[in-house]
């Protein structure tokens, strides 16, 4: 049994018919409510900003997958399933992300033999800012957010192989721009 009205709405929204788009967007107001309800049910693992991010991801996914909607159930039921899956995905990502809690940092455990080269870090960040947006974003997601290639690919709507290739090529490019390691350059300069 198909929900012909919702199926027709989806088809017309895909063609960007103004009246269909308006109705579609009104119906998608359910997304934040669904996410808020699920967040409450799971003990509020996500804060408001994270829920807003998930809602944006859901809306993007709904729009991309709208041509696949078959009308077997009301549109909101189909959207609820996407909300549910994205909520779990965000909770998994959040669990993997390192958190920096200043109260839990043990400065006595720092290795004094490992100096932090602030200038080198600033230089790397400047080089990242000079890269094309997609390359810089992939590096940041992989290095700073500790995301997997599959997660990055899903978020950026790319294939995992494209993400990997871009990542490794960009690393080589950054390494070339950074030049030889300063310690090695100093040592070789002292010997000559």
Q: Are residues 76 and 138 located together in one domain of the fold?
A: no
Query: Per the structure block, which two tokens stand in for 126?
Result: 């400047």
Question: Structurally, how many domains does the chain consist of?
Answer: 2
Question: Do 8 and 61 reside in the same domain of the chain?
Answer: yes
Residue ending a domain, among 67, 96, 125, is 96
In degrees and rounded to multiples of 5, residue 186 shows phi and psi of -65, -45
Task: Say which CATH number the domain at 72 has.
Answer: 1.10.1740.10
The answer on 111 and 81 residing in a single domain is no
pLDDT 10s per residue in the chain (192 long)?
557 788 999 999 999 999 999 999 999 999 999 999 988 888 888 888 889 989 999 999 999 999 999 888 889 999 999 998 898 888 888 777 655 555 554 545 555 554 545 566 677 778 888 888 889 899 888 877 788 899 999 999 999 899 999 998 988 888 888 776 544 444 444 443
51 within a domain of the structure (yes/no)? yes
Angle at 159 between CA 91 and CA 92, to 5 degrees: 10
**pLDDT recorded at residue 9:** 92
Inside any domain, residue 87: yes
Is residue 101 domain-resident? no
91 shares its domain with 153: no
Does the residue 22 lie in any domain? yes
Asked if residue 102 is part of any domain, the answer here is no
**3-state class (DSSP) for residue 44:** coil
143 with 164, same domain? yes
Q: Are residues 115 and 183 in the same domain?
A: yes
For residue 49 the two structure tokens come to: 């900003």
State whether 89 and 111 are in the same domain.
no
Q: Is residue 71 situated within a structural domain?
A: yes
d(CA 144, CA 158): 19
On whether both 82 and 113 belong to a single domain, the answer is no
Tokens of 40: 């409450």
Q: Classify the phi-psi angles of 123: left when phi > 0, otherwise alpha if psi is within -120 to 50, otherwise beta.
A: alpha
Domain extent for 9: 4-96
Same domain (yes/no): 91, 111 = no
Distance of alpha carbon 54 from alpha carbon 48, whole angstroms: 10
Q: Which of these three, 64, 96, 128, is where a domain ends?
A: 96
Q: Check whether residue 92 and residue 112 sit in a common domain.
A: no
**CATH number of the CATH domain containing 128:** 1.10.10.10
Boundary of a domain, candidates 96, 119, 142: 96
Closest CA to 26 of 5, 9, 39: 9
């Amino acid at each position: 049994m198909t929900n012909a009205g919702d199926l027709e709405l989806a088809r017309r929204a895909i063609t960007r018919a103004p009246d269909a788009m308006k109705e579609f967007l009104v119906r998608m107001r359910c997304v934040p409510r669904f996410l808020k309800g699920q967040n409450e049910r799971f003990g509020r693992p996500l804060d408001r900003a994270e829920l807003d991010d998930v809602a944006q991801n859901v809306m993007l996914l709904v729009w991309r997958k709208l041509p696949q909607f078959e009308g077997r159930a009301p549109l909101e039921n189909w959207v609820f399933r996407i909300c549910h899956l994205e909520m779990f995905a965000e909770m998994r990502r959040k669990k993997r992300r390192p958190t920096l809690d200043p109260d839990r940092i043990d400065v006595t455990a720092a290795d004094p033999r490992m100096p932090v080269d602030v200038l080198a870090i600033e230089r790397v960040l400047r080089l990242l800012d000079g890269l094309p947006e997609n390359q810089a974003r992939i590096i940041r997601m992989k290095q700073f957010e500790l995301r997997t290639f599959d997660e990055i690919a899903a978020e950026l709507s790319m294939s995992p192989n494209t993400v990997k290739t871009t990542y490794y090529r960009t690393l080589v490019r950054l390494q070339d721009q950074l030049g030889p390691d300063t310690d090695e350059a100093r040592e070789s300069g002292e010997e000559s």
